[in-house]
Structure 1
Amino acid sequence: MGDLRPEVACVGAVVHDARGRLLLIHRGHAPSAGLWSVPGGRVEPGESEADAVVRETAEETGLAVRPVRVLGHVRIDGDGVVFTVTDWLCTVVEPEPEPQPVAGDDADDAVFVDAAGLTALAMAPGVLTALSGWGVLPH
């Protein structure tokens, strides 16, 4: 018997800065409230995934990004729903060498982290496994 819960289409942005650090947000709302993850959220009706990843990243971090390609898909159990997330590799549009993310929307914090910094953070379930499998962990 298949999963009969409604699926909610979402996107995630995998963004690195010039030093290879990964953009992360501290989630303020479910799913995974209080944990760290890549920026992202729901795809609005009539919105493309590419447009959604640009909008969500801007809302949560203040950074303008350009979607490059789909990295993969993850499923996250929610309260009575399943979030089906398409994660996109994105580049920062801003030309400055050190883009500074600023938390907004449902993000409590937004930072670029290197590999050492990543190990100190409480990550949302499955994020590290997915990023590792796609070969996009920070340097």
Structure 2
Amino acid sequence: MKSRQGRAVVAVIINEGRVLAIKRAGQVPGAGYWTPPAGKLEPGETQAEALVREVREELGLVVQPLREVWQCVADGADYELHWWLAEAVGGKLRPAAAEVAEARWVTPEAFGQLAPTFPKGRFFFEAILPALPEWQGLYGGKAC
């Protein structure tokens, strides 16, 4: 993938057959769109460090990054998105109102019903997530 202006991480946090989706608040890029939690890397920060920091700041959760599972260029922006599987290991879901208008745990099928969503987000939930060994191993490729 060619180098872009910026890099960001996307947190695919799985819990009991569901994934955390957020609706972006009015002050942030992509306001009103449903996405998994995401954020830009800060200088000198690894992707895993950025993932932990962004989820803690935006949602109050402590996550354990598992592995990067996909890369793409952001819809409508010059950013490389690095999609990571993660599991919540602590904290309490407390969305930061300045960045997150709403948060919900959804099945991949239910994510497709949220509107609006970015095309690459829909693609991830339709094609990438169901094919991942972690998803298939835990859920047989289906939501519980």
TM-score between the two structures when normalised by the length of structure 2? 0.77
SS of alignment partner, residue 45 of structure 1:
coil
Aligned residues: 127
After TM superposition, what 4+ stretches of structure 1 lie above 4 angstroms from structure 2?
none
In the alignment, the residues of structure 2 paired with residue 53 and residue 42 of structure 1 have an alpha-carbon distance, to the nearest angstrom, of 9
Scaled by the length of structure 1, the TM-score of the pair is 0.80
Tell me the secondary structure at the aligned position of residue 95 of structure 2: coil
- Give 5+ residue unaligned stretches, structure 1: none
> What corresponds to 1:22 in structure 2?
19
Query: What's the C-alpha RMSD, in Å, of the aligned pairs?
Result: 2.3
Q: Summarize the alignment of residues 1-139 of structure 1 with structure 2, pairs less than 5 Å apart.
A: 7-17=5-15, 19-28=16-25, 29-30=28-29, 32-76=30-74, 77-78=76-77, 82-94=78-90, 101-104=93-96, 105-115=98-108, 117-122=110-115, 123-136=117-130, 139=143
Cα deviation for residue 119 of structure 1 reads 3.9
Of Structure 1 and Structure 2, the greater helix share is in: 2
Q: Deviations over 1:58-111 (max 9, x none)?
A: 112111100001011121122xxx0111010001112xxxx8522115111111
What SS is found at the alignment partner of 1:88? strand
The 1:22/1:34 distance shift into structure 2, 3 A limit, reads same
Kept after mapping to 1: 8 A contact 2:108/2:126? no
Q: What percentage of aligned pairs have identical amino acids?
A: 29
